Structure 1
Amino acid sequence: MRSELKQILKKYPVIAAAKDIHGLEDACQSEIQIIFILFGDIINLPNIVKKAKLCGKLVFVHMDLIEGLDTKEISAKYIRDFTEADGIISTKSNVIKAGNEMGLITVQRFFMLDSMAMEKAKKHMEYAYADAFEILPGVIPKVIKKISNLTEIPIIAGGLIEDQNDTYTALHSGASAISTTNKSLWKFVVEL
C-alpha cells in the first residue's frame, strides 16, 4: 500500500480530516478515499478506525491528537497492533520513524510558522522516514512550492483550506493533495 500512496493521492487529491464521529460518518458516505482521524482516545480508537475501514477507506490516525497516546515509539506499535489503521500522522520524527519501521504509512506534519520552521522541515526531509509531508497552513503556496521542490515525497497541504480556490492554489503550487475538515470540499474530489 505504501508504494501506491502517490497514485492514490494523484487520483484522489482531497483527504477528509474527520474531527468527530459526524465528520467520520460524512467521510464514509463521500467518494473520498483517504481519511485522517483527528479525534478519539485509546479506548474508542480501534472502533473509530474499524468504522472507516468498513467504508473501504485508507485510514491514518493523527497520533498527536489521540487522548492517551504518547509521543513515544510505543504508540506507533499500539496503532499497528490494536487498530486496522493503514498509517499515522505526527509532528514527532521519532514516532514517524518508528511507524515507518513497523510498516505503517507515515505522514509527518509541519507547521510553517517562520524561517526556522522551514529549516527544521528541510532537515527532517533529509532522513525521509515519512511517506508524505503535511504542511500547515495549506494556504501558503510559496512555501508549498519551495518544499515540493526539495523532495519527491508527496506534499499534503492542510489547515485553513476553505474553498475550491484554496484547493486549486495548493495543488497547482506543488501539493499532491489537501486535507480538510470542510465537508463541502470532500465532494470536490470528483470534479478535479
Structure 2
Amino acid sequence: MEHVMSQMEDNPIIAGIKDEQSLKTALDSECKIVFVLNSTIMNVASIVSRIKKHNKLAFIHVDLLEGASSKEVVLEFLRKNTAADGIISTKAPLVKQARNYGFITIHRFFLTDSMSYHSIDRQISNSDPDIIETCPGGMTKTIGWVKNKVNLPIIASGLVCDKEDVVNALKNGAIAISSTNTEVWAL
C-alpha cells in the first residue's frame, strides 16, 4: 500500500483505459498507475503483463471484467493468472474478499444523491477497503464531504476533464484522480 501511495504522490493522475489505443497511450504516459476498465477473462492477463512491463501498477475493475462473475472465484482467477496489484469494485463483499488474495482494494462509489452519500459509512464498514473512489470526480464539493466523513484515501474519478478539475479535486481532499481522458494524463 505504501508503494501505491508513493506512486500517487509522485503523479496523482491515474490512466483509466477502455481499449487498445488508450492502453498504448497509457503505457507511453507519465501515469504510474493504470485502471483497466474494460477487459475480458481472455485478455486481462496480457493487458496486465504489458502494464507491468512498463513498471506501472495495474488495477482491474472486476465489475467490468467480461466473462467473470461477481463471486470470489474472479479474485482467485486474477491472482492465479495475472500480476495485478489491485482491484476496483462497487461491491462491498468482493472488495472485502479481495484483501484475502493480497490485492490492494478500491471501493468505488457513485455519489448521485444524499442516500448514496449517507450509505458510505455502512458500505465501508462492510468492505474495509484500502482506498475509496468517488464518482463523479468532477463534483469536487462532494470530495470534501467524503473526506470529512471517512478516514481513507480518496481517488476522484469520472468527468475529470481538465486541469481545473484535477486541481480542485486534489485541493478538496482527493489523493489522486482517475480519468479516461488522455489529455488529462499529460497534465
TM-score normalised to structure 1 length = 0.93
Q: Deviations over 1:102-153 (max 9, x none)?
A: 1101111000011110122121223562111010000112210011122332
The match for 2:155 is: 156
The match for 2:57 is: 58
Q: Which amino acid aligns with 1:157?
A: A
Contact 1:34 1:57 in 2 (8 A): yes
- Number of matched pairs: 187
Is it true that 1:100 corresponds to 2:123 in the alignment? no
Which ranges in structure 2 are unaligned for 5 or more consecutive residues?
A: none
Identity %, equivalent residues: 39
Contact 1:156 1:177 in 2 (8 A): yes
C-alpha displacement of 1:21: 1.1
Q: Output the CA distance in 2 between the equivalents of 1:12 and 1:124.
A: 28
Q: Deviations over 1:155-186 (max 9, x none)?
A: 00000111100111111010110000111111
* Structure 1: 4+ residue segments shifted above 3 A: none
RMSD: 1.2
Q: Output the CA distance in 2 between the equivalents of 1:151 and 1:118.
A: 11
Which ranges in structure 1 are unaligned for 5 or more consecutive residues?
A: none
C-alpha displacement of 1:60: 0.2
Q: Output the CA distance in 2 between the equivalents of 1:129 and 1:33.
A: 24
SS of residue in 2 equivalent to 1:46: helix
TM-score normalised to structure 2 length = 0.96
Q: Output the CA distance in 1 between the equivalents of 2:80 and 2:128.
A: 20
Q: Output the CA distance in 2 between the equivalents of 1:125 and 1:42.
A: 28
C-alpha displacement of 1:6: 2.1
Q: Output the CA distance in 2 between the equivalents of 1:121 and 1:38.
A: 22
